[in-house]
Amino acid sequence: MPKQIKKGLPYFLIFSLIFSVVVFGLNFNFQKEGIKVKADVATTTVQVQNAPPAWQVYALEDPVSATSTPTNIGSQVTFKAKGNDPNDDPYYLAVCKGPGITPGANGGQPTCTAGAWCISASTTDETTSTCSYTVLETDSSETYDWYAYLCDAYSDNPQCNSTYSQGSGGSGSPFVVNHRPNFTAISNDSPQLPGANLTWSSTASDPDTIRGGDTIRLYVCSTSGFNPSTGCAAQTLASSSLSASNPQAAYTIPVPKPDMAYDAYVFVVDQFNLAATGTAQGSNSQYTVANATPTIASTSISLLDADGSGNLTITNEESSTTGFMISFQITDDNSCWAVGSTSEISTAIGYVYRTGIGQAACDSLGEANNNNCYPELTNVQIGSCSGPSQWTVNATITFALWYHADPTVNNTPWAAEKWTASVKAVDDDNATSSLTEAWTNGQNEVDMLLALGLLQDTIDYSAVVPGTPSGETTTTVKATGNVGLDETLYGTDMTLSGNPSITIPANRQYWYFATGTAWGSTPTSSAQDFLQYDPGAEGELNCLKTTTTGSPATKNTFWKINVISTQQRGIYYGTNTFIAVASEPAEW
Amino acid sequence: MKKISFSFLAFLLLFLIFSLSEKNIALAGFGITPPYFKNDNLTRESYYEQKITLVRGDPVEDSKVEIKINVPGANDWISVDKGNSFILPKGEKSFPITLKVKVPKDAPFNRYKGNIRITVAPANLPEGGGVAIALGAQVDVDLNVTKQAIFDFLIKKVEIPDFEEGHKWWIFYLPGKITMNITLENLGNIPLAPNKVQLAIYDYSKKNLLESQETKKIKEKVLPFQTGIVRAFLPTKTKQGVYWAQFKVFKDKDIVAEGELPITIHPYGTLVGYKGYEGFFGLTLKDKIIFSLIVLTPLVLILIFVFIFLRKKKKKKK
């Protein structure tokens, strides 16, 4: 026996033995039903039943609906799961309200015993199945359990898995519902002035308690457009911070803002931006901006001449001169605009007076004095107004001064003073500003009007006897300006009619201020003198400054002539000149 | 006889009444305003003018005006825009003339006093003999020629027109531009403007100071003896809204005007006709430096590079 065969013999024996045992076992010992002997052929059959899909990914909420992330009323709770069917059939995800489910017939949707939150559409095996439930207003509980099943979408003997899934953790059952706050009443504390705070107070609360009480927020919008997530569609007038109940929102009324009623739509949302329910939600809680009293900045007031610059210059003798102006700026927190595109400022009233008189002594009509006080001036021009955003408006009061208004320039009794103005503005609700006096730099001077009139247009000596003084004749000067008057007098020689070479010298005329003075009395030049040629002599006439409008101050000058005894007879003509000179201030 | 004498007496009475009433009709009055021509601060080559208005009460006809100047030492410097003789046209109740003085360059430093007489000739000579009356008025003249330069002025008005808030320009911020219109009367004999202007912006309630600015750069000047407007420009970062501005205007170190005014700042780009700070020149000094560094640094580097390159090229050629 070869050596190799000798070595392999034990292996062969072992293999043969094992083979024999197996063949024997198969034929005799491993058959359950015992040995049946049939003639000819033996047939075997088996029916494998449909198996339900199994969880590949357990059911879950996505997004998570949990205490801190509840699902708002009206929003959807979305469930997801992934099934693995042994037969690779499609399947349903059924999220039931309670345990128990019946597979659908003919591959249809299953039926939850306690009702379903949602059942997915037929889903391909091993893909994620999704179904959603829209939370209803009637879902009053804060939490709802769910039970998820996977069921065959196979028509022949469909199966649901026998064990439901409730997920786990935050994304597991139950889902949490966030309910609307209840918003029942709103009020605001208007009317308020521009620049002031206006507060809306709500009656609102939230029914949820699972989080220890939800917080709510109040929005006040300029229009009814509102999105709970993003807020007011137009202008947000005010919004509150989150609070447990009855939130309040404050609005600082801008300056300027016309006084009228404004729409304000109010909305309450909770901390999860869920809009409230209730009668006040979205209602119009109008607010009213109160009427503000206009003001006038002292610095804006200027007293101006008719041409806008320089001293106030009276240019009409013995009458009034108009065109003088008080310019100023009115500020109104309601703007210069009013409802109906009218003017918020209805009028203004001015008072012009010498500073020595003072505002208190010239703030009513009864105190009017054409010398120094012009109250209640109402010829007002209000400047243009561009609209409700214009805070200030310029205004001008035009007024007249009488010819004897006290001058305040140098060399007058009132040189230490000026003229000033006070102004008050009245708005369309008759609110009146305080009477505001011009700042020092806005004051002005009334200038001197040196003017005289004469009640006579000639000096008529009538018939005179040569060598004998004439009778007394009079000229009367009246002060038709605002200064006291002296006069400078001079004249020409009188010439004989038809022969100008024959003259009566000017100094044959004699002037004086005291009636009855004899011709030729010692001349003083200031009170009596012979008439001189140009430039003449200044007489201290001392005609007072006029103080009564209808009765100008007057003063007489008396005249006599004494022609020489050899003076040729005839009619003589001459010209005397009266030069008005401002008298010394003490003599006004 | 009785009848005749009664008729004669009645006629005489009527005549007397008529005559008396005629005599009491006032001659048309005449006046001037102002009745002075004064200036304390003239210097050599100064020019000063003043309007004098002639007024008449009843200008029913043309009247001849004569002007006589009597200012010893200065008669030749003084002139009247209408000349020394002219016609006051009928219907004109007030008639302006302008007195002018032009001080010669060699005028002695002195005070020159005198008067200017303005007379209106009588319209008609009296009938049947007698003396016609001419009216006139005297302008007192007091002119002082000094060698000192006088810096003196009065603030008449301050205004702050609406303006726009600042805005971004590239990486910089261009501030809003406050314009203070200052109307001043120059009393001195040199062109001038205030030395300094300060402005403090307060909120609507006037309680909170938001910003303070000042400027000493007032380029515009008002000529001697004239009234005009100078503008002070100040930058501001204050946003749109309504505010109160408290201002101070300085003459040397003295405050010559102070007060408060309402101001309105509009959003950028909304104010028609407004011209704010624009571009490089609108930047603050600090931003100008930064801008210059950003722009100039690369330019300088390029120039250096070009210089080196050209130098090397030159060397190679050699």
pLDDT digits (tens, 9 = 90+) for B60-83: 889 999 999 999 999 999 999 999
> Is residue B137 within 8 angstroms of chain A, CB to CB?
yes
Query: Contacts of residue A573 in chain B, CB cutoff 8 Å?
Result: 125-126, 129-132
Q: Choose the closest CB to A447 out of B34, B70, B137.
A: B34
The answer to whether B136 contacts A572, with C-beta atoms less than 8 Å apart, is no
Alpha carbons A250 and A447: distance in angstroms, whole number:
57
Residues in chain A: 588
Q: What is the pLDDT of residue A31?
A: 46
- Both structure tokens of A474: 């009079």
Residue-wise burial string across A401-417, b where 16 or more C-beta atoms lie within 10 A, e elsewhere:
bbbbbbbbbebbbbeeb
Of A523, A503, A502, A501, the residue nearest A512 (C-alpha): A523
> Is residue A280 within 8 angstroms of chain B, CB to CB?
no
Q: What is the pLDDT of residue B295?
A: 82
**Which residues of chain A register pLDDT less than 50?**
1-2, 21-37
What is the tens place of the pLDDT at every residue in B199-212? Answer: 999 999 999 999 99
Those residues with Cβ within 8 angstroms of residue A547's Cβ, 6 or more apart along the chain or in another chain: A371, A404, A553
- Both structure tokens of A188: 């605001």
A157: left (phi over 0), alpha (psi -120 to 50) or beta: left
The answer to whether B133 contacts A578, with C-beta atoms less than 8 Å apart, is yes
Q: What is the CATH number of domain A452-587?
A: 2.60.40
Query: Contacts of residue B28 in chain A, CB cutoff 8 Å?
Result: 453
Query: Contacts of residue A314 in chain B, CB cutoff 8 Å?
Result: 33
Per-position DSSP letters for A68-107, written without gaps between them? SSPEETTSEEEEEEEEE-TT---EEEEEESSS-EEPPGGG
- Both structure tokens of A1: 């026996």
Q: Choose the closest CB to B57 out of A318, A475, A497.
A: A318
Alpha carbons B240 and A152: distance in angstroms, whole number:
69
- Both structure tokens of B24: 């009491």
CATH pick for B27-145 out of 2.60.40.10, 2.60.40.2470, 3.20.20.70, 3.40.1190.10: 2.60.40.10
Strand B196-202 and strand B241-251: the pairing is antiparallel
pLDDT of B14 over the 70 cut = no
The answer to whether A475 contacts B133, with C-beta atoms less than 8 Å apart, is yes
Q: Choose the closest CB to B31 out of A317, A459, A576.
A: A317
User: Which residues share a beta bridge with A491?
Assistant: A576
Q: Is the pTM of this model over 0.90?
A: no
- Both structure tokens of A441: 């730099």
Q: What is the pLDDT of residue A29?
A: 46
Cβ count near B141 (within 10 Å): 23
> Is residue A387 within 8 angstroms of chain B, CB to CB?
no
- Categorize the per-residue pLDDT at B123 as very low, low, confident or very high, splitting at 50, 70 and 90: low
Those residues with Cβ within 8 angstroms of residue A575's Cβ, 6 or more apart along the chain or in another chain: A491, A492, B121, B122, B125, B131, B132, B133, B134
Question: CA B251, B255, B259: angle at the middle one, nearest 5?
Answer: 125
Architecture of domain A295-442: Sandwich (2.60)
Of A283, A393, A265, the residue nearest A328 (C-alpha): A393
Question: CA A176, A182, A184: angle at the middle one, nearest 5?
Answer: 175
What is the Cα A88 distance to its own chain's centre? 70
DSSP letter, residue A369 = B
> Is residue B30 within 8 angstroms of chain A, CB to CB?
yes
The answer to whether A314 contacts B56, with C-beta atoms less than 8 Å apart, is no
The answer to whether B136 contacts A579, with C-beta atoms less than 8 Å apart, is yes
Alpha carbons A305 and A287: distance in angstroms, whole number:
46
pLDDT of B5 over the 70 cut = no
Q: Whole-number mean pLDDT of chain B?
A: 88
Domain A182-288 is in which class?
A: mainly beta
Report the chain A residue with the minimal C-alpha distance to residue B139.
Answer: A581
Report the chain A residue with the minimal C-alpha distance to residue B56.
Answer: A317
Measured CA distances, A20 to A17, A207, B5 (Å): 5, 82, 199
Helix (H, G, I), strand (E, B) or coil at A515: coil
DSSP letter, residue A26 = I
Alpha carbons A452 and B31: distance in angstroms, whole number:
6
Of A475, A435, A438, the residue nearest A453 (C-alpha): A475
Q: Return the domain boundaries, chain B.
A: 27-145, 153-283, 284-318
Alpha carbons A317 and B27: distance in angstroms, whole number:
13
> Is residue B269 within 8 angstroms of chain A, CB to CB?
no
Per-position DSSP letters for A273-303, written without gaps between them? -PBPBSTTTT-B--EEBPPPPPEE-GGG-EE
> Is residue B161 within 8 angstroms of chain A, CB to CB?
no
Query: H-helix or E-strand containing B3?
Result: helix B2-24
Helix (H, G, I), strand (E, B) or coil at B79: strand
Query: Contacts of residue A316 in chain B, CB cutoff 8 Å?
Result: 55, 93-94
What is the tens place of the pLDDT at every residue in A331-341? Answer: 999 999 999 88
CA dihedral A379, A384, A390, A393 (to 10 degrees): -30
The answer to whether A315 contacts B55, with C-beta atoms less than 8 Å apart, is yes
Cβ count near B56 (within 10 Å): 23
Interface of A with B in 454-493 (CB under 8 A): 454-461, 475, 478, 480-481, 483, 488, 491
Alpha carbons A287 and A199: distance in angstroms, whole number:
10
pLDDT of B4 over the 60 cut = no
> Is residue B177 within 8 angstroms of chain A, CB to CB?
no
What is the tens place of the pLDDT at every residue in B164-185? Answer: 999 998 889 999 999 999 999 9
Q: Choose the closest CB to B57 out of A329, A453, A573.
A: A453
Alpha carbons A105 and A101: distance in angstroms, whole number:
12
The answer to whether B135 contacts A580, with C-beta atoms less than 8 Å apart, is yes
Report the chain B residue with the minimal C-alpha distance to residue A445.
Answer: B34
> Is residue A575 within 8 angstroms of chain B, CB to CB?
yes
Give the type of residue at A217. R
> B75 with B99: CB under 8 angstroms?
no
- Both structure tokens of A237: 């007038």
The answer to whether B131 contacts A576, with C-beta atoms less than 8 Å apart, is yes
> Is residue B156 within 8 angstroms of chain A, CB to CB?
yes
Give the type of residue at B65. V
Residue linked to tokens 């430039």: A535
Which of A317, A329, A433 to mutate: most B Cβ within 10 Å? Answer: A317
Give the type of residue at A187. S
Measured CA distances, A95 to A72, A79, A134, A177, A362 (Å): 19, 8, 13, 16, 91
| B153-283 fold | Immunoglobulin-like (2.60.40)
Query: Contacts of residue B135 in chain A, CB cutoff 8 Å?
Result: 452, 454, 577-580
> A289 with A190: CB under 8 angstroms?
yes
Q: What is the CATH number of domain A54-178?
A: 2.60.40
Q: Rounded to a whole number, what is the distance in Å from the CA of B53 to chain A's nearest CA?
A: 7
Asked, colleague to colleague, whether B27-145 and B153-283 share their fold, the answer is: yes
- Both structure tokens of A402: 């009488």
Number of C-alpha atoms within 13 angstroms, CB side, residue A29? 6
Report the chain A residue with the minimal C-alpha distance to residue B248.
Answer: A299
Residue linked to tokens 């500073």: A355
Number of C-alpha atoms within 13 angstroms, CB side, residue A536? 28
Q: What is the pLDDT of residue B292?
A: 86
Complex-level ipTM: 0.86
Query: Contacts of residue A459 in chain B, CB cutoff 8 Å?
Result: 130-131, 133
- Both structure tokens of A197: 């705070």
Give the type of residue at A541. L
User: Which residues share a beta bridge with A320?
Assistant: A402
Q: In sequence order, which ranges of A537-580 are alpha helices (DSSP H)?
A: none
